[in-house]
Structure 1
Amino acid sequence: MQCRYFIAAILAAPFALAPAAAKNAGAPPVAAAAGNVDPAFVGHYYLSGIMETGSELLLRDDGSFEWYMSYGALDQFANGTWRRVNDRIVLAARQPDRDKPLFAYLDTQPWSAEAEQSRLDAEHDAQENAVRSACPFLADNVSVTAPVPTIVGSTENKKPTLEELRGKAEATLLSARQARSRMEEAARRIMAGNSTDEAAVREAHRVTAAWYEASDIARNAAQAAGLPNPDLSEPVLPSACSLPERRTVDPGAPESWKPGLAVEVIDPKSGNKARGVKIGLRSGDGKTVEVTTAGDGITLLTDFGNDAQLTATLDAPYAPGRAVEVGIPPVRYGTIRFSIDTEQLMAPPFERLTLRIDGAALLPEEFGRGRYTR
């Protein structure tokens, strides 16, 4: 038994139920129960009588059905064929066709604004990681825990006077400014030498943590004294510690783009993209690279350049033993798209569901209670 949330977890967007006609297009016929389609029971049914459970059943006049149930965080659905057998309506769920490949080559799309934004994001992340690696003074590189400020001379039974609070605020502000100056001085000295030296990194982390702790204490002391937030600007660091700004693609200026190669895995029926798919690519000259699709769908082939002929092997941890190798037509630029048949990953919650006819209502025998009514 599987649920839509499993599929949503591997797709770059929540998986949406497609109309039955689209979902069943090209699907192999379902083995139907012996009996006849009774036009009297064609219609849209809703389940009642079961707490915190929602369910719908659509019986069509062509003998097909679509069923949906939601219980808590669990969503289930099925489709297939239905027949009347004596005083029962019998649903036969369509089972996934696992004889065809799970993955296939779909097409190659021109380089798009979405692909260009992914390229800009990847470029920014690489630049930012390089800066963070080279500069040990950045806040995210240091674990900082600011202590709670205490007032000298205060006791549990005696609250500090306003004069004591303001004196403490002034002293902590001076300490914070001194800590900032020490950090700036250490940054100039260390960045001019070897910023990756182990001793230099420890010193950088020490003065950085001291600055942030002192600045937090000064702000807390000012607040306790009823004073405005103190003027404590961030330390001035060497240019090597400046983080790059994130850029946004200009969709109206494709001439400024830098086309390359990218890949994505998409479910053509829903339009959603699959994450966590490992794609191993091999060029005609033997170069290989492996990428994994992430949440945004598009993954860049930054190490591949513009190879004309590629072969791809697609594999996913949630579909063991279903790896597929596919050839790709010659391509220099664009987004290579592969399809994933997510319906193969979703076994319906039942093979056969029996509903007892009770007048115009249908009672699901497997549930033990509840009734479907139009």
Structure 2
Amino acid sequence: MFQRNLETANPNRNRRVMLMASLLLPVVANAQPAAVRDIFIGMVVEDQGQLLLERCDLGGTRYTLSNATDADDPLGKLRILRHDHALVQAELIASYRQVGDTHILDVSDVGETRTGKSCHLKDALDDMLSDAMEPPRALQHGVPDAALVGHYYLSGVMETGSELRLKADGRFDWYISYGAVDQVANGHWGRKDDTVTLAADLPAKGKPVFRADERLVWDEFVERQFREQARLKQEAAVLALCPWNIDAASSAPPMATDEHPVAGPEQVAKAARTKVAAEIARDAAAAAAAKAVAGGAGDADRDAASAAMAAWQNAQYDMEQAHVAANLAVPLIDPPLMPAACRLPDEDRWAKIPVSEWQRGIAVLVGDPVIELQLSRVGVTFTYDDGHQEMARTARGWAFAPLRPGAAVTRLDLAMPSPVSRSETLRIAPLAEGVQTVIANMQQVIEPPFEVMTLEVKGRDLIPADMPRGRYSRH
């Protein structure tokens, strides 16, 4: 997608480009807006959803990035890079203009890129000092051994499944499942003598959990998520108003069998009586339900409706059993007719939704792409630039707020539920319609199941110290 990576570029050409940019940028920064395009090199950063280019010098001049009018969305390419990499250095072909105190680059194209490293001298020095002073914790206990690289499976522990993958780059993935508990860990590994040490990645103190990511347009998929959430709320409202079990009332009857002897007149008569009783109970349940949701209804009316529904279910069961005992086909009688307030509208939830029928809105999608998880129960407060606020809670990652004519959402307050109980504020570029995706770094809030695990090397197997009966073996 991008032309090429800086690491594979001609080094002499890079030096020429850097020199050209260092000579041109001071001049351009003081010039009047012009359509002349130059090469600009720096770190691509994001502030409140807005992409910026930060010069690779001590001054760190920042330029607001905008797509040139004749460009094919180069900022979209940069957002994809930013999505996958925390550090992105890029060469941009752009023209400069200034609005007030704001320096703006109208980007026509993206040239060479480099990811994973900062071009700032201070960051490079910090990385060098950090690497020198604090090596990976696993390396304090040894170094990766190529002879042990591979995929291991646990045996010898009842009702427990576990896998361990030791990678050649010194990283490991670990998984265990026992009962209803599933746990995972990732980190560094090393070997010293006959001991393998796994040092799990720990939450980084002080780093934010949430960060604003890319924007998505409102499309049919988003519209369907919006409607599905509205239906879930409607279902909850119906359940609160009509707490009796409607589904059980319309369960499929059992089929008659040939296991019973030929029925006598009494059994046939009993079957007929149970059918009449079931129909009476059904009608009584329908009447009680209608009364329970009518104006002025109280708790006694709702209790009576629940009791009538239970009586109908019992009568239906008695009818089914009596007909089976009489070797008769079980009658198919209609369930109680529920009042409109207790019914959900019939709709084809997978039919195509014409654009003209889209309700539209503002959405937030919260998830951790590393573990492929969309988060539920995250509280989201949408704050519009006119001061209005809307509160929602994510379900399967999605939370929605309505459109407000002439207003846009500029701030998101996100709150994770207990036991995490973390709250953070994200300021975003104005969003009048569409989707703001938010990446949640769950590694920041989920403690690993262990900090350090040691395993003894025995031949081709690894014996965990805390599970002496267990054995990790390569297959």
- TM-score range for the pair, normalised by the shorter chain length: 0.5 to 0.7
TM-score w.r.t. the length of structure 2 is 0.55
Q: Which residue of 2 aligns with 1:327?
A: 427
**1:225 pairs with 308, 326, 330, which one?**
326
Preserved contact between residue 319 and residue 345 of structure 1 (Cα < 8 Å): no
User: How far did 1:103 drift?
Assistant: 0.9
Q: Which residue of 1 aligns with 2:271?
A: 169
Q: 1:231 to 1:86 in 2, by over 3 A?
A: closer
CA distance in 1, matches of 2:197, 2:141: 9
Which letter maps to 1:101? P
Q: Which residue of 2 aligns with 1:68?
A: 174
User: What SS does the aligned partner of 1:170 have?
Assistant: helix
Preserved contact between residue 195 and residue 201 of structure 1 (Cα < 8 Å): no
**1:308 pairs with 408, 413, 436, which one?**
408
User: How far did 1:317 drift?
Assistant: 2.8
User: How far did 1:261 drift?
Assistant: 1.7
Measured against aligned partners, the alpha-carbon deviations of 1:283-339 in whole angstroms (never above 9, x if no partner) come to 222222322222x22122258788413311112135646321111211122222211
**2:392 pairs with 278, 284, 291, which one?**
291
Q: Which residue of 2 aligns with 1:268?
A: 369
Preserved contact between residue 274 and residue 319 of structure 2 (Cα < 8 Å): yes
CA distance in 1, matches of 2:463, 2:289: 75
Which letter maps to 2:221? E
Which letter maps to 2:360? P
CA distance in 1, matches of 2:428, 2:185: 35
Q: How many residues align structurally?
A: 332
Q: Map of 1:135-284 to 2, 5 A cutoff?
A: 140=245, 162-180=264-282, 194=295, 196=297, 210-230=311-331, 232-235=333-336, 243-251=344-352, 253-284=354-385
Preserved contact between residue 68 and residue 77 of structure 1 (Cα < 8 Å): yes
Q: 1:337 to 1:187 in 2, by over 3 A?
A: closer
CA distance in 2, matches of 1:240, 1:91: 58
Per chain length, whose mean CA-contact separation is higher, i.e. which structure has more relative contact order (CA < 8 Å, sep 6+)? 1
Q: Which residue of 1 aligns with 2:212?
A: 105
User: How far did 1:267 drift?
Assistant: 0.8
Which letter maps to 2:264? L
Which letter maps to 2:377? G
User: How far did 1:232 drift?
Assistant: 2.7
User: What SS does the aligned partner of 2:212 have?
Assistant: strand
Q: Which residue of 2 aligns with 1:7?
A: none
User: Where does structure 2 lack aligned partners over 5 or more consecutive residues?
Assistant: 1-83, 87-114, 118-126, 250-262
TM-score w.r.t. the length of structure 1 is 0.68
Preserved contact between residue 313 and residue 324 of structure 1 (Cα < 8 Å): yes
CA distance in 2, matches of 1:307, 1:37: 57
Q: Which residue of 2 aligns with 1:46?
A: 152
**2:185 pairs with 77, 95, 103, which one?**
77
Q: 1:357 to 1:22 in 2, by over 3 A?
A: farther
Q: Map of 1:353-364 to 2, 5 A cutoff?
A: 353-354=453-454
User: Where does structure 1 lack aligned partners over 5 or more consecutive residues?
Assistant: 1-20, 145-160
User: What SS does the aligned partner of 1:33 have?
Assistant: helix
User: How far did 1:253 drift?
Assistant: 3.8
Measured against aligned partners, the alpha-carbon deviations of 1:52-93 in whole angstroms (never above 9, x if no partner) come to 464424141x4x1314252524434232253x5456555544
- Relative to its length, the structure with more strand (as a share) is 2
CA distance in 2, matches of 1:165, 1:140: 30
